[in-house]
Amino acid sequence: MIKVGIVGGTGYTGVELLRLLAQHPDVEVEAITSRSEAGVRVDAMYPNLRGHYDELCFSEPDTERLGACDAVFFATPHGVAHALAGELLDKGTRVIDLSADFRLRDAEEWAAWYGQPHGAPALLERAVYGLPEVNREAIRSAQLIAVPGCYPTAVQLGLLPLLEAGLIEADHLIADCKSGVTGAGRGAKVPSLMAEASESMKAYGASGHRHLPEIRQGLGDAAGGQVGLTFVPHLTPMIRGIHATLYSRLVAGRLTAESGELQSLFERRFADEPFVDVMPAGSHPETRSVKGTNLCRLAVHRPGNGDTVVVLAVIDNLVKGASGQAIHNLNLMFGLRETAGLDAPAIMP
Ligand SMILES: NC(=O)C1=CN([C@@H]2O[C@H](COP(=O)(O)OP(=O)(O)OC[C@H]3O[C@@H](n4cnc5c(N)ncnc54)[C@H](OP(=O)(O)O)[C@@H]3O)[C@@H](O)[C@H]2O)C=CC1
Ligand SMILES: CC(=O)N[C@@H](CCC(=O)OP(=O)(O)O)C(=O)O
């Protein structure tokens, strides 16, 4: 069994790691930390886990105990992995960070977007961006993984086939994205109250959101140069889910008038990907169809056979957008079956 630790076990991504790992055949949770809930049983706080983690209690983050694990997940706010990852890596423990601490390659750019100096720039060259559909081979031998953000996962998967094939104008991409409220974390905040968030919808971060540089970095790699991207996130009244509507313009003359060409491009690109489902032509994927799963469902449209391509992408922000993708990375790093612990279908209705 692979022994894992989780730092930051009381947040939504921490409890989602526990829910998914309860079904993992090759993994045992050795330690789970929370400073505020130290000593409390995890199933006392999360009754859905009763019967799965007998006697497992939250404990203080202790690098001796965590360093005895094969791998440690960080499900913590930004900056925590900066402080602790180096010591764990020195002990030979692999680190899978769900926060944004190691997602941007440029420490200065990270500091500008996150409003604090980068706390571990020396580790950046060892960090692998954990999007398996792009970096599978590098992930297998990585010691430190930066798990992609939720919006960046949906947007990159939706646009990668088009950019890699050079079919769209890379300087004018639009990502119109909607998220459920768990994306904002479990901490008490007025905008997340039911009376504030339900039966209403709003955009935020329209003039600059911290996921913008992360998405630009990934799309730029796919395009082989800088991309121009407008990214507008929205808060929607659902608990889980991200829906990305992605608009781009076809490069003139690169595509024949034959219908089905874009559909087969997407089908070919993701044919061997266990967690990307390219839906039949004409589909409109729903967030509820991926609830609780590590899947990204995609559909590609070309309205009126014109020069605009519309890609629709849905994920569960807590699974493919965070904890499920983190476990997919773990499976790759330890040579396990890629889908281990991640095979259950979505919850519907
Ligand atoms: N929610 C989502 O959809 C997604 C979240 N993420 C990212 O995942 C990370 C976790 O998010 P979320 O699950 O929402 O959790 P929260 O940010 O709500 O939870 C934070 C957890 O970290 C612990 N923690 C906080 N400060 C420290 C510290 N200094 N040292 C050690 N532990 C600390 C807290 O416990 P305590 O204070 O008791 O120690 C708590 O268990 C964040 O970086 C988030 O941005 C990524 C993708 C999607
Ligand atoms: C709805 C909502 O507030 N979503 C969060 C993004 C989700 C998240 O946690 O971002 P990371 O993956 O970078 O940690 C936000 O917009 O800040």
Dihedral angle at the C-alpha atoms of 132, 24, 16, 288, nearest 10 degrees?
Answer: 70
Q: Which domain covers residue 308, as residue numbers?
A: 151-317
Q: Which of 154, 167, 292, 173 is nearest to 234 (CA)?
A: 154
CATH number for position 51: 3.40.50.720
Asked whether residue 92 falls in the same domain as residue 202, the answer is no
- How remote is the CA of residue 267 from the centroid of ligand 1, in Å? 35
Atom 21 of ligand 1: nearest residue by CA position? 8
pLDDT one-digit tens code per residue, 162-179: 999 999 999 999 999 999
Asked whether residue 223 falls in the same domain as residue 124, the answer is no
139: in domain: no
343: in domain: no
164: in domain: yes
CATH number for position 235: 3.30.360.10
Ligand number nearest CA of 78 is 1
Asked whether residue 176 falls in the same domain as residue 295, the answer is yes
Residue 69 a catalytic site member: no
- CA 53-54-60 angle, to 5 degrees, is 70
d(CA 82, CA 240): 28
Asked whether residue 228 falls in the same domain as residue 266, the answer is yes
145: in domain: no
15: in domain: yes
Asked whether residue 117 falls in the same domain as residue 200, the answer is no
258: in domain: yes
DSSP per-residue letters across 56-77 = -BEE---HHHHTTSSEEEE-S-
Atom 8 of ligand 2: nearest residue by CA position? 183
Asked whether residue 108 falls in the same domain as residue 178, the answer is no
Q: How many CA atoms lie within 13 A of 91 on its CB side?
A: 16
pTM, two decimal places:
0.97
Asked whether residue 56 falls in the same domain as residue 194, the answer is no
What's the pLDDT at 257? 62
What's the pLDDT at 130? 98
Which residue of 73, 150, 235 sits with most ligand 2 atoms within 8 Å of its CB, as the best mutation to test the pocket? 150
Q: Which ranges of the chain have pLDDT less than 70? A: 257-259
Asked whether residue 299 falls in the same domain as residue 246, the answer is yes
- How remote is the CA of residue 14 from the centroid of ligand 1, in Å? 7
With beta carbons less than 8 A apart as the criterion, state whether 86 and 144 touch.
no
Give CB contacts under 8 A, 24+ apart, made by 304-307: 305/257, 305/259, 307/249, 307/250, 307/252
Asked whether residue 112 falls in the same domain as residue 165, the answer is no
| Closest ligand 2 atom, residue 181 Cα | 1
Asked whether residue 92 falls in the same domain as residue 230, the answer is no
Atom 9 of ligand 2: nearest residue by CA position? 183
Number of domains making up the chain: 2
Element holding 165 (H helix, E strand): none
Q: How many CA atoms lie within 13 A of 190 on its CB side?
A: 0
- How remote is the CA of residue 264 from the centroid of ligand 1, in Å? 39
254: in domain: yes
294: in domain: yes
153 lines ligand 1 (CB under 6 A): no
Asked whether residue 275 falls in the same domain as residue 244, the answer is yes
Asked whether residue 298 falls in the same domain as residue 232, the answer is yes
Catalytic hit among 57, 69, 150, 177? 150
What's the pLDDT at 253? 85
Judge if ipTM > 0.85: yes
329 lines ligand 1 (CB under 6 A): no
